[in-house]
């Protein structure tokens, strides 16, 4: 059976690992440390853990000051408040001076569930990728999360990491998985169409591809964990070799992965594209699985989109 783990849990574990490796790592949280899983780091390294209280602007501003003084701050809260409430602080105090701040936000997307629309960040990828100097990473599972956190701790510059609340299937093998910032991963070869997915939609994409085989459609599956800088090469190659693309993300179809892919292919090699994601709408309260279905974020929605573009391609 597939192991289920939330990316936020993997984040919490990774923080302790990098905290042991590098004493410059400092973790900040805004009163959500038990939910974002930074709590463990706080217990392990109390003198390198700063709870700023319910004050997200100051969370980022303080992190910027720590980075300016040579520390490697990891700042965490929910994605909504990190990228929404503190947007302009991120832009002016982190992005503009290119400071080494790692914003690792949890509870992104509609799978926040019962807390409802006010807490479901569906525009955070869009907000973060529009800031110059910002790297944007959306891990698909726990293994990728850990690898990403280790990688960004060694890289100089601002990063946004989008993490989730919900336990998701582990699709990568911890022993063999290699993570490279900015490099997409081909999880399954295919010739008829390419599904480009990110975050928890990667496992949905794999399921969809499996089912599509039974319908006679041979779909390639690419995991784009780094939305910015985007792996243009892998996207253009997919456009050329398969002639149609479906993107899948737990995010508004405006401004996220779908938009990023559209930008690249429309300038380099236009092919048919269909975007699976939320359709410029707010979410609502409910169980994550029910919300995924209602807001058309399941493998079935990917399948429908694939069937549609493949038909149009012919």
Partner 1 sequence: MGKSIQELKQIANDIRKDIIEMLAESGSGHPGGSLSATDILTVLYFNEMNVDPNNSKWEDRDRFVLSKGHAAPVLYATLAKKGFFPKEELMKLRKIDAMLQGHPDMKGTPGVDMSTGSLGQGFSASCGMAMAAKIDKKDYRVYTLLGDGELQEGLVWEAAMLAAHYKLDNLTAIIDYNGLQIDGKTDEVLSVNPVTDKFKAFGWNVMEMDGHSIEEIIESIAKAKEIKDAPTVIVAKTIKGKGVSFMEDKAEWHGNAPKEDQKVQALKELGGEI
Q: Which of 56, 123, 144, 250 is catalytic?
A: 56
**3-state DSSP call for residue 306?**
helix
Q: Nearest 5°: phi and psi at 56?
A: -70, -35
Q: Which residue, 88 or 213, has its beta carbon nearer to partner 1?
A: 88
**3-state DSSP call for residue 202?**
helix
Q: Which residue, 93 or 153, has its beta carbon nearer to partner 1?
A: 93
**3-state DSSP call for residue 131?**
coil
Question: Alpha helix (H) ranges present in the chain?
Answer: 7-21, 33-36, 39-44, 56-68, 79-80, 87-89, 124-129, 142-153, 201-214, 232-242, 257-268, 288-294, 299-313
Which of these segments, 59-67, 168-176, 185-193, 198-206, binds partner 1 (CB under 8 A)?
A: 59-67
Q: How far is the CB of 54 from partner 1 (least distance, A)?
A: 9
Chain center to CA of 72:
21
Burial 266-290 (b: 16+ CB within 10 A, else e): eeeeebbbbbbbbeeeebeebebee
* DSSP 8-class letter at 175: T
Residues 78-97 touching partner 1, rule: CB under 8 A, are: 88-89, 92-93, 96-97
Q: Omega of the bond prior to 229 within 30 degrees of 0, cis?
A: yes
Residue 270 binds partner 1, judged by CB under 8 A: no
Residue 127 binds partner 1, judged by CB under 8 A: no
Which of these segments, 58-66, 159-167, 234-242, 298-306, binds partner 1 (CB under 8 A)?
A: 58-66
Residue 55 binds partner 1, judged by CB under 8 A: yes
Q: How far is the CB of 308 from partner 1 (least distance, A)?
A: 45
Work out which of 6, 10, 16, 67 binds partner 1, going by CB under 8 A.
67
Q: Which residue, 10 or 131, has its beta carbon nearer to partner 1?
A: 131
Residue 69 binds partner 1, judged by CB under 8 A: yes
Q: How far is the CB of 105 from partner 1 (least distance, A)?
A: 18
Residue 314 binds partner 1, judged by CB under 8 A: no
56 is catalytic: yes
Q: Which residue, 64 or 148, has its beta carbon nearer to partner 1?
A: 64
> Strand pairing partners for 160?
103, 136
Q: CA 154 to CA 139: how far, in whole Å? A: 17
Q: How far is the CB of 58 from partner 1 (least distance, A)?
A: 4
Q: Which residue, 86 or 185, has its beta carbon nearer to partner 1?
A: 86
Q: CA 138 to CA 155: how far, in whole Å? A: 16
Work out which of 31, 65, 254, 285 binds partner 1, going by CB under 8 A.
65
Task: Please count the residues of the chain.
Answer: 314
Q: Which residues bind partner 1 (CB under 8 A)?
A: 26, 47-48, 50, 52-53, 55, 57-58, 60-71, 73, 88-89, 92-93, 96-98
What amino acid positions are annotated as catalytic residues?
56
């Amino acid at each position: 059976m597939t192991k289920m783990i939330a990316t936020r849990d993997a984040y919490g574990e990774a923080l302790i690992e990098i905290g042991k490796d590098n004493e410059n790592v400092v973790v900040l949280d805004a009163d959500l440390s038990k939910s974002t899983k930074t709590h463990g780091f706080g217990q392990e390294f109390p003198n390198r853990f700063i709870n700023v209280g319910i004050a997200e602007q100051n969370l980022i501003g303080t992190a910027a000051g720590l980075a300016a003084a040579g520390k490697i701050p990891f700042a965490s809260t929910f994605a909504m408040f990190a990228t929404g409430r503190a947007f302009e602080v991120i832009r002016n105090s982190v992005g503009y001076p290119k400071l080494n701040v790692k914003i690792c936000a949890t509870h992104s997307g509609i799978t926040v569930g019962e807390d409802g629309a006010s807490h479901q960040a569906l525009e955070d990828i869009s907000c973060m990728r529009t800031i110059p100097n910002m790297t944007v990473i959306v891990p698909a599972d726990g293994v990728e999360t850990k690898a990403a956190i280790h990688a960004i701790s060694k890289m100089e510059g601002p990063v946004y990491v989008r993490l989730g609340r919900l336990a998701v299937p582990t699709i990568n093998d911890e022993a063999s998985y290699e993570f490279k910032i900015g490099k997409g991963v081909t999880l399954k070869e295919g010739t008829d169409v390419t599904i480009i997915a990110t975050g928890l939609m990667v496992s949905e994409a794999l399921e969809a591809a499996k089912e599509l085989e039974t319908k006679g459609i041979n779909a390639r599956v690419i995991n784009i964990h780094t939305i910015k800088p985007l792996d243009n090469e892998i996207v253009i190659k997919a456009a050329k070799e398969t002639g149609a693309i479906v993107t899948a993300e737990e995010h508004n179809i405006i401004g996220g992965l779908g938009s990023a892919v559209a930008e690249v292919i429309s300038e380099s090699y236009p092919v048919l594209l269909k975007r699976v994601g939320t359709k410029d709408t707010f979410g609502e309260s409910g169980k994550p699985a029910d919300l995924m279905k209602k807001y058309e974020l399941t493998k079935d929605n990917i399948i429908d989109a694939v069937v549609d573009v493949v038909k149009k391609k012919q």
